[in-house]
Amino acid sequence: MEEEGVVVVVREFNPEKDCSEVEKIDNNCDVGPSGKISIFTDLLGDPICRIRHSPAYLMLVAVMAKDEEEREIVGVIRGCIKTVTCGKKLSRNGKNNGGNDSLKPFPVYSKLAYVLGLRVSPSHRRMGIGLKLVCRMEGWFREKGAEYSYMATERDNEASLKLFTERCGYAEFRNPSILVHPVFAHKVSISNRVRIFELSPFDAESLYRHRFSTTEFFPRDIDSILHNRLNLGTFIAVPSSGYLESWPGVDHFLLNPPESWAVLSIWNSKEVFTVELRGASFALRGLAKTTRLVDKAFPWLRIPSVPELFRPFGFHFLYGLGGEGPNAEKMLKALCGFAHNLAKEKECGVVATEVSTREPLKEGIPYWKKFSCEEDLWCMKRLGEDYSDGSVGDWTKSPAGSSIFVDPREI
C-alpha cells in the first residue's frame, strides 16, 4: 500500500539519468538462496544490457515522488519478447519407401514474453510497487501481441511466488535445473576417443533447425543468437575413430551422422554482468581457500581447487545442448570439458547451463551440487488468445517434454 501523500509513477528507463540508481537497487537485492548465486552486477553501469540482445525489449522503473523535487527510483523491471516453439505438429512429407505418406514433426510457434529483473528497494516493499511494475509490463506485452508471459524464480522465494501466482495469475509451469561447475586451475583432460569440431554460425543454425526446432522454447531467431558477438562458438563432438578427420559440412553430417554425437554452444555472459556468491558459510569459504593453497603448493596433484567465487566473477553459459546415440552422454561430457578449458583461458569463475530435469543427456553434464539449483521454477500466464494453428491449445496446460531450449539472452 502506498504511503499517504506519496505518488509512485511507472515510466520507461532513461539511460542518461537512471543508471546509477537502478544499479544500486540491483546490487541491494539478492536473487538467490543463501550460499548460492545471489546477486548480479551489471557491467559498465549498463542496467539494460541483459535484454538489449533480444528482438524486442523494455525496461521500466518505479519512481516515488513526495514533491516536485524529492524523487527516488524504488523499483525496476525488465521484459523482452520473442517467438519460440510451444509444441509440434505432424505433417505429410512425401512418400516413404513403403509407398505410404510419411509424417514429419514441425514446430508450432508462439509469441512469448519474459519478465526478468524485477527488483523493489528493500525499504519500499509491501507497498504494491512490484504489482504495479508487472501490470505495466504486461500491458506492453499485450500491445506487442505476446500470447504468453513467463518468469523464473526460486521455489523458496515466497514473496515472488505470491506476487506472480496469487496476484498476477501465473501458474507453475516447468522445473529446469541450473547446473554450475567451477573453473579449476588445471585444464580438464578430454578423451582421445572424441573429436571436437567448431561449426560456423551457418552450419550451427542448420543443425539446430533440423534437429532441435521442435524442442520447447526453441527461438525462431536462432540465427541472431548464433551470429551475436557474445556467442563464442558452437562445437560438436563425434567419435575419433570411424569418422572423418575434418568437418565434412552440415549437409553431409545430417545425411550421414555418426552413431553417437553431441553439440553445444557457448555464450560469453562475462561481457554482460558479473556474479558473486553471498551468504556462504565461513566453513565453505575456508574449504575453498584451502583447496587453492594446497593446489598451489602441489600443482602436480591437479587438485580441483575452488576458484575465488566470493567476489564478482564472470562466467560462460552453455546452451543448445543435445545429441543422439548410445555414447551421446560421453560426447557431451567431452564438450563440457572443452568449455571448461575455454572458460579457464578467458579467466571465468564458472561454467553454467540450464536444462530440463528430464533431459536425457543430463548425466553427461558435470556440475557441483553446492553451487547449483536442481529445481528452478518457471511460471507462465496466458495473456490472450492463442494465435497458433490449434495444434497445441493452451500451452500453460501442456505436459513437459524431455528437453527445453534455454535462450542465453535471458540469463
Predicted TM-score (pTM) of the model is 0.90
Residue 33 or 238, more confident? 238
List pLDDT tens digits, range 253-275: 999 999 999 999 999 999 888 88
DSSP reduced 3-state for 286 = helix
Give pLDDT, residue 244. Answer: 80
User: What structural domains and CATH numbers belong to the chain?
Assistant: 7-174 (3.40.630.30), 177-375 (3.40.630)
Residues 122-153: tens digit of each pLDDT: 888 888 999 999 999 999 999 999 999 999 99
Tell me the C-alpha distance between 286 and 143, whole Å: 52
Reduced 3-state DSSP string for 100-154? CEEEEEEEEEEEEEEEEEEEECHHHCCCCHHHHHHHHHHHHHHHCCCCEEEEEEC
Tens of pLDDT, residue by residue over 36-45, are 445 445 544 5
- Name the phi and psi angles at 169, rounded to 5: 85, 20
